[in-house]
Amino acid sequence: MKRTPKTFRSGKALFLDRDGVINVDHGYVHRAQDCNFMPGIFELAKAAMRLGYRIIIVTNQSGIARGYYSRDQFHAFSCWLEQQFWRRGILISHTYHCPHHPAQTGPFGFPCSCRKPRPGMLFKARKDFGIRLDKSIMVGDSLSDMRCARMAGVGKAILLREPEAHFAPKLEANTKKPYYRASSLHAIKSLLLSGSHS
Ligand SMILES: [Mg+2]
Ligand SMILES: [Zn+2]
């Protein structure tokens, strides 16, 4: 049974997509030497933790289904990644990943309930840690992260995008629940600290 430290009793979580939020998305990053951290990620995580949010990573890793890297390689990299936070005094409660892809063949080539935008990983987190999804926040750099948050009933979804980034308007129109947009992780940290997210 998982003990819940007092700090986390509110049940709120900051869900972080990985590629493009924690590390620069170079495409299928799976080795420490290829990992460049996004500016402001540690500051954001630390601020959130101080506010009582659990930090939870939710990441699609179809590179596993595609055979670009193994699940063991993914876990080794995740372990290293979590250590980089821990060294800075930040606890990552868990890294949830989806290794599947519906268009691939092989052991992970099937449609699943965890590949974002499907909300499976968030529901798993809710079960594992007693997360209150309505009090939680999701930060992602793609609209599928926003959809996933909406389907799971996450309180606030924040899309991290450069202002000049190209959007597919059709997809945006389909996103019924409003989400925030931020051009940097620093901006998200400010939003958190100002309390205007709630
Ligand atoms: Mg991403
Ligand atoms: Zn999956």
Is position 141 annotated as part of the catalytic site?
no
Cα 130 to averaged position of ligand 1 atoms, centre (Å): 25
pLDDT digits (tens, 9 = 90+) for 76-117: 999 999 999 999 999 999 999 999 999 999 999 999 999 999
Cα 141 to averaged position of ligand 1 atoms, centre (Å): 5
Q: Which residues surround ligand 2, an ion (CB under 5 A)?
A: 98, 100, 112, 114-115
Is position 72 annotated as part of the catalytic site?
no
- Tell me which residue range forms the domain holding 14: 7-194
Task: Give the chain's domain count.
Answer: 1
Rounded distance, CA 176 to CA 157, Å? Answer: 12
pLDDT digits (tens, 9 = 90+) for 147-174: 999 999 999 999 998 765 555 544 455 5
Q: What is the CATH number of the domain that holds 156?
A: 3.40.50.1000
Count other Cβ atoms within 10 Å, centred on residue 167: 11
Share of the chain above pLDDT 90, in %: 81
Indicate whether 2 belongs to any domain.
Answer: no
User: Is there a cis peptide before residue 102, judged by omega within 30 degrees of 0?
Assistant: no
User: Out of 17, 25, 134, 141, which one is annotated catalytic?
Assistant: 17
